[in-house]
Structure 1
Amino acid sequence: MKSQLNVQNVFAALVVAGLVLLPVYSNLSGNIFILTLFTRIVILALSAVSLNLIMGYGGMMSFGHAAYLGIGGYAVGILAQEGIGSGWAQFAVAIAVSALYALVIGALSLRTRGVYFIMITLAFAQMAYYVASGLARYGGDDGLTVYKRSDFGGLINLGNRVQFYYLCLGCLLAIVVLVWRIVNSRFGLVLQGLRSNEQRMQAIGFPSKRYKLACFVIAGMLCGLSGALLANNTDFVSPAVMYWTRSGDLMVMVILGGMGTLMGPVVGSVVFLVLEEVLSQLTEYWALIMGPLLLLIVLFGRGGIMGMLGRLNRG
């Protein structure tokens, strides 16, 4: 077990080191695009880490997680359009509104289980999608352009590609550490116990709905932060970011990397989005290649990439 953990930790450390050194490579090679690509990857990896908290550790298969991406993005875009350019205010509103929406969804959806839970989370995400599409003042279906990035009072310049990348990477690593602290705390151990056997945990006195709802709200807040970063990265936010297919992409990232592992969602996000970019450059029918490839990995790579590393080590 120890050697398995060592192999996974070494691989995770190499991934983190690569992400940290990426701007150096970009500067030396003059390849600006790779920095832009990996900024997006890091932001979506943050969303995947937040989804893994409820799906991998809490056993809650939410199919509406992308709604928080859109809520965080629209919080930045709407406040910017209304003349509030402070990043502190924008990010605080993005996190707070995401938390409130997650509280409402969680309070209703956690009354159900299985496919009913999945359908309720999907329904709420689609509702957010259609509400955003109807906001004529803020672009409606066409989306909303963010003409000025969030202002943090000179502390950091989000217009600088390298500074913005390191801000996103810093947020990602901080959230990974936060999730590690959560899952290894008493709260996290109870949450994992509920995933394994909810009836037994209830029988010994743990209020399952409270723990699950708290986890659901935390995950929504973290994804809202990711949405705020995404709006600044693209200088644009649209209802499409909330669509159910985006939630599906996040789920694939988590499963591909290793559901219920700390660095699995980060690894899965890098592999998924790099594959998507490479294949889309080769052919317009890239999805026909991507789909079966991911299916093979899921079928034969039990536990995702991190799980495969563990089995190779034992072999």
Structure 2
Amino acid sequence: MRYPSSFVLAVFGLLALWPWLSGSYGSDLVAKIMIYALLALSLELLVGSTGLVCFGQAAFFGIGAYAALLLAPADDSAPSLWVLLLSSVTLAAVFAFAVGSLSLRTQGVYFIMVTLAFSQMAYYVVHDTPLGGGTDGIYMYVKPSWGWIDLDQPNHMYGLIWVSLLLGFVFLSQLLRSPFGRALSGIRVNEQRMKATGFSVFGYKLAAFTLSGAIAGWAGFLFAIKDGFVNPELLSWHLSGAVLVMIILGGLGHIRGALMGAFAFALLQELFQSEAVFGSYAKHWHLGLGLAVMACVAFMPHGLVALPRQLRERLTGRNHAKTSAQKWQGHA
């Protein structure tokens, strides 16, 4: 299912206008979802485009977040926005390169378990050592700045997140249409045939893995400077699992699906956590969210991105059956 470019423009246009259409709570919620959408895009590059089911994406996200706070000046001076951004992305990419160099030598469930093991190793480094402040996490008291950009102003912070998501989406769109992206698609479909035709499959997968980690670190950086606080839960396997559910919910193989899945998952979670809707049952929101995701997967096996096609096919089938019945009655 290919949406016209006008659909994507309309979505990003609505997101750009959202701060003026909603209150502070709505803007903050959408800003948070956009960060998770950027993280979902990074995983979509691995799972949907390359066929690598990674269960350690939260590690790259958390490393980017922790780097932003740990590398900020110890005094009260405002850190440089670009220095922190480049540092977070670079450190996440370096860690992804190291993990990919080892984990990509395995396949299938072994690859999943190795990436999970590396993610948990990073989790316990910040959880059990003074480096990341332990379970208490660490705080950023002065947000980074650059020129007229003042990230203490909610609209400036929202704008930075919106621009980041837009750039990430456009970059991956062009990348997947390039020869590099076509090679990744070929590896996903038939890795052995790609090897037989002379492609360096390991090199392509390592490049995709490293790039995915860099984008996840970018998302982690945005999360850290938005809230000014990080804790070890950012590197937990729960977040890796949640992001994997996002891209499955949206539809694997489509970067638009990653965006749709991130928004759908976050909004469903927000709905089931609402005491105004579910009252005291809101504390059991995991049950409602799980049932909703199961229903979506059962009735939309190809994800939200394929829902318009699915509805059109059903409608066309009904119209065809109705026309056939009318013709049969006419002949009778």
**When the two structures are superposed, what TM-score results if normalisation uses the length of structure 2?**
0.89
Matching residue's letter, 1:77: L
CA shift at 1:12, angstroms?
3.9
Cα distance between partner residues in 2 of 1:197 and 1:79? 42
Matched, 1:215 2:211: no
- Residue 5 of structure 1 aligns to a residue whose secondary structure is coil
2:143 maps to what in 1?
A: 149
Cα distance, 1:138–1:202 mapped onto 2, change above 3 Å: closer
Alpha-carbon distance, 1:39 to partner: 0.7
Matched residue, 1:85: 79
Q: Which moved more, 1:293-302 or 1:61-70?
A: 293-302
1:276–1:293 CA distance, 2 compared to 1 (3 A): same
Aligned-residue offset at 1:136:
1.6
Query: Rg: which structure is higher?
Result: 2
Displacement after TM superposition at 1:11 (Å): 4.8
Classify 1:135/1:151 alpha carbon distance in 2 versus 1 (closer, same or farther; 3 Å). farther
Kindly indicate whether residue 96 of structure 2 is the aligned counterpart of residue 109 of structure 1: no
SS in structure 1 at match of 2:145: coil
Cα pair 1:81 1:146 within 8 Å, conserved? no
Unpaired runs of at least 5, structure 2: 276-281, 315-332
Aligned length: 306
Distance 1:254 1:306 in 2: 10
Residue 239 of structure 1: aligned partner: 232
Q: Secondary structure in 1 aligned to 2:65?
A: helix
Residue equivalent to 1:204: 197
Residue matched to 1:63: 55
Provide the residue aligned with 1:53 in structure 2: 45
Cα separation, 1, equivalents of 2:309 and 2:159: 30
* CA–CA separation in structure 2 for the residues paired with 1:178 and 1:170: 12
Provide the residue aligned with 1:310 in structure 2. Answer: 309
Can you list the C-alpha shifts for 1:114-167, whole angstroms capped at 9, x where unaligned?
A: 000000000000000000112325411111111111222x24111111111111
Shift of 1:310: 2.2
**Structure 1 residue aligned with 2:187:** 194
Greater length-normalized contact order (CA 8 Å, ≥ 6 residues apart):
1
Q: 2:271 corresponds to which residue?
A: 278
Deviations 1:6-65 (A, max 9, x none): 4x6555444323212101102xxxx21001111100111000001101110010000000
Are the aligned partners of 1:15 and 1:267 in contact in 2 as well (CA < 8 Å)? no
Equivalent in 269, 275, 299 of residue 262 of structure 2: 269
Once the 2 structures are TM-superposed, how far is the Cα of residue 68 of structure 1 from its aligned partner? 1.0
| Length-normalised TM-score, structure 1 | 0.93
Match of 1:40 among 24, 27, 32: 32
CA distance in 2, matches of 1:20, 1:309: 24
Please say if residues 47 and 250 of structure 1, whose CA atoms lie closer than 8 Å, have aligned partners that are also in contact: yes
- Cα deviation code 1:226-257 (max 9, x no counterpart): 00000011110111110000000111111111
**In structure 2, C-alpha distance between the alignment counterparts of 1:247 and 1:18, rounded to whole Å:** 28
Residue matched to 1:18: 14
CA contact (8 A) 1:302 1:308 kept: no
Match of residue 118 from structure 2: 124
Paired with 1:35 and 1:90, the residues of 2 have a C-alpha distance of 24
Task: Report the residue type matching 2:210 in the other structure.
Answer: V
Query: Equivalents in 1 of 2:128, 2:72: separation in Å?
Result: 19
Distance in 2 between residues matched to 1:68 and 1:5, nearest whole Å: 30
In 2, Cα distance between the equivalents of 1:110 and 1:88?
Answer: 31
